[in-house]
Copies of this chain bind each other. A is one copy, B any other.
Amino acid sequence: MEEEEGGSTLRILVATDCHLGYLEKDEVRRFDSFDTFEEICSLAEKYKVDFLLLGGDLFHENKPSNSTLVKTIEILRRYCTNDRPVQFQVISDQAASLQNRFGQVNYEDQNYNIGLPVFTIHGSHGGPAGVDNLSLNDILSAGNFLNYFGKTDLGCTGVGKITVYPLFIRKGQTYVALYGLGNIRDERLNRMLHEPHAVNWMLPEIQDEIDWFNILVLHQKRKKASPSNGVSELLLPRFLDFVIWGGHEHECLIDPEEVSGMGFHVTQPGSSIATLLINAEAKQKHVLLLEIKGTQYRPTKIPLQSVRPFEYVEVILEDQVDVDPSDEATIHAYLHKIVSNLIEKVRETAASGSEPKLPLVRIKVNYSGFSTINSKQFGQKYVGKVANPQDILLFTKSGKRCKNKQESTNSSGEVYTNDLNQQTIEALISETNLQLETLNVNDLNSALHDFVNKDDKTAFHSYLKQSIDEARNKLTTATEDSTKIDEQQIACLLDQSMQAPGQETITKGRPGSQSLLTYSLSVLESDDEPVESSDPEESGSSSHQAAGRKRRAAPGGGDGGSAASAAGRRKTDLASFQRAPTKEDDADAAKKRRAPVAPGRYGAVIRRR
């Protein structure tokens, strides 16, 4: 292995929750999200990072306006396409981790000059939905603007089963396994993490001379902050070294924190734009420069300069001596004084020379014992002086606040507005004593979630379709000789992959048939023995040719279920994948495994700390 120029230090800029297009109709704030995203890209340039890593929620809406898409693409194109050499390689099978038809990292497409690669998982906004389970990231990925990974096919029955294929990144002597897990509904992921074989983490093959640094980037509500319904970091596998927690948690807790007993640190960069006027969002926003050499890393937090100033205070009217409950004018005077002071404070701290952005100002007023005043009217005085004149004041009562606090508050004691108690389909069904056979309650829940939160009008349609197809397949399998069916299905699969021009599998020294066969079998298999492959040449860099011609993702009549859709999407030698053992597997299993081959192979090892 030759040492490259650029040394062995992998430099990653980490940001998350950019919420592009947030408040795009607001006259004052419409460019905020783009300004900061542009700053992030320019920081990536300034610090000469190897790549930019995003933790999801790049967009604020599921169906952003044309304007938002155009602005986003313009920024990506301006910063990502240039002649700067990319000095790291993804040595694993790229098509296994990346969600696009071209099956490779964007900078390896010979028709593009990509100087700044961007890697991202999806978040809860704009995640995959619809018949083809596609998200905005897929659009940007198809256009070669970013490398979208961490997308999982949950399947339709039961809790679901996913396999996380990390990107194996090498720079000089530094080896990083980058795991991505795009947003899954918190409850579902929670359940999956509790079940023994629901989440399979693919590991690098053991090699004595290589020490891998294992990073996971995920996008979930964090249990620490929302104990009722988040995902706990204690459920994550212990072989991880570093966890990047994107999403939901907009508070910037960027300094890596050790999770005791787990052997990894967690960073929570927080959103790059304030989408809620709460205390947690008023703190300085940062991105993280993560430098990794071998298994050592150095985190450096970089403050974002373009973020609109945001001042937050809480006041309790009762405690103020000069405020008289019987005289509304004193309330006005008191609150106006606070706002003026905050505006003045922002003006003073602004860098001299540049004109500062109008600030966001939020006063949380505990008005127990007082009556509220008209918030809109109050704000009229501040048009042109603050960015949010219409909602400067937020009135609360102390009694109410304490009650809520027990149920759902984040670490800073703020009440989350989206933590409302939601009626689930589960509850509805148990109320009405319905008996569901073909349909699965949890998946109906998922469909409802997609319908409501992702604006996905086809959510129920595609869910029903999948369920019916699955039921039909089960019926067929039950009534005929199962071995024969498997063969037929596989033959059908092969037929398809042969017929579609340009969709040939790109196996080296191994016929496509074999790999599909192995894969579909390994997917269908339920015992714990990992399936070993003997292909000595598997490497991720060979997926360069044009990808398949058509994507027939909808399962046609009985053409082989999940294996078919996997074959349709991925263009790779899937035979070499091995399911990672879960926590229940013991060390004996690892010993039985073959000798290591070359870096970049998926192995089946778990490293406990």
Interface residues, chain A, with chain B CB atoms under 8 Å away: 25, 27, 30-31, 34-35, 38, 63, 65-67, 69-71, 73-74, 77-78, 81-83, 101-102, 109-114, 129-132, 134-136, 138-139, 142-145, 458, 461, 502, 546-547, 549-552, 554
Contact = CB atoms under 8 A, between A and B. Distances in A.
5 contacts: A31-B550, A77-B102, A78-B546, A78-B547, A111-B114
A48 B73 CA distance: 30
B554 A27 contact: yes
Interface centre among A71, A111, A458 (most CB of B within 10 A): A111
Contact of A111 (B27, B82, B142): B82
Nearest to A31: B550
Closest 6 CB pairs of A and B: A81-B111, A111-B113, A66-B134, A73-B142, A67-B132, A143-B143
Contacts of A38: 549-550
Interface centre among A27, A38, A77, A114 (most CB of B within 10 A): A77
Contacts of A111: 81-83, 112-114
A515 B65 CA distance: 33
Given A71-B551, A74-B547, A78-B547, 16 more contacts: A25-B458, A30-B554, A31-B552, A35-B550, A38-B549, A38-B550, A66-B132, A66-B134, A66-B135, A67-B130, A70-B138, A73-B139, A73-B143, A74-B551, A77-B144, A112-B113
Contacts of A73: 139, 142-143
A77 B547 CA distance: 10
A77 B113 contact: no
A490 to B, nearest CB: 21
Given A74-B101, A74-B547, A67 B134 contact: yes
A530 B113 CA distance: 43
Say whether chain A's binding surface is mostly helix, strand, loop, or mixed. loop
Contacts of A554: 27, 30
Contacts of A112: 81, 111-113
A351 to B, nearest CB: 16
Contacts of A101: 74
Given A112-B111, A135-B66, A74 B142 contact: yes
Contacts of A135: 66
Number of copies: 2
Contacts of A145: 143
Contacts of A31: 550, 552
Nearest to A139: B69
Nearest to A462: B25
A20 to B, nearest CB: 13
B66 A143 contact: no
Nearest to A110: B113
Contacts of A142: 69-70, 73-74, 77
Contacts of A551: 71, 74
Given A25-B131, A31-B552, A70 B547 contact: no
Nearest to A132: B67
Nearest to A143: B143
Contacts of A66: 129-130, 132, 134-136, 138-139
Given A113-B112, A138-B66, A145-B143, A550 B458 contact: no
A77 B132 contact: no
A66 B99 CA distance: 14
Contacts of A549: 38
Given A65-B130, A111-B81, A70 B139 contact: yes
A247 to B, nearest CB: 20
A78 B142 CA distance: 10
A552 to B, nearest CB: 7
A65 B66 CA distance: 13
A63 B82 CA distance: 31
A557 to B, nearest CB: 10
A358 to B, nearest CB: 13
A181 to B, nearest CB: 21
Contacts of A131: 25, 65, 67
A77 B143 contact: yes
A30 B556 CA distance: 13
Nearest to A546: B78
A240 B144 CA distance: 39
A143 B138 CA distance: 14
Interface centre among A63, A66, A69, A130 (most CB of B within 10 A): A66
A78 B103 CA distance: 13
A82 B109 CA distance: 10
Contacts of A134: 65-67, 70
A546 B138 CA distance: 25
Contacts of A30: 554
A321 B68 CA distance: 63
A276 B130 CA distance: 26
A353 B547 CA distance: 26
Interface centre among A34, A67, A502, A552 (most CB of B within 10 A): A67
Contacts of A129: 66
Contacts of A547: 74, 78
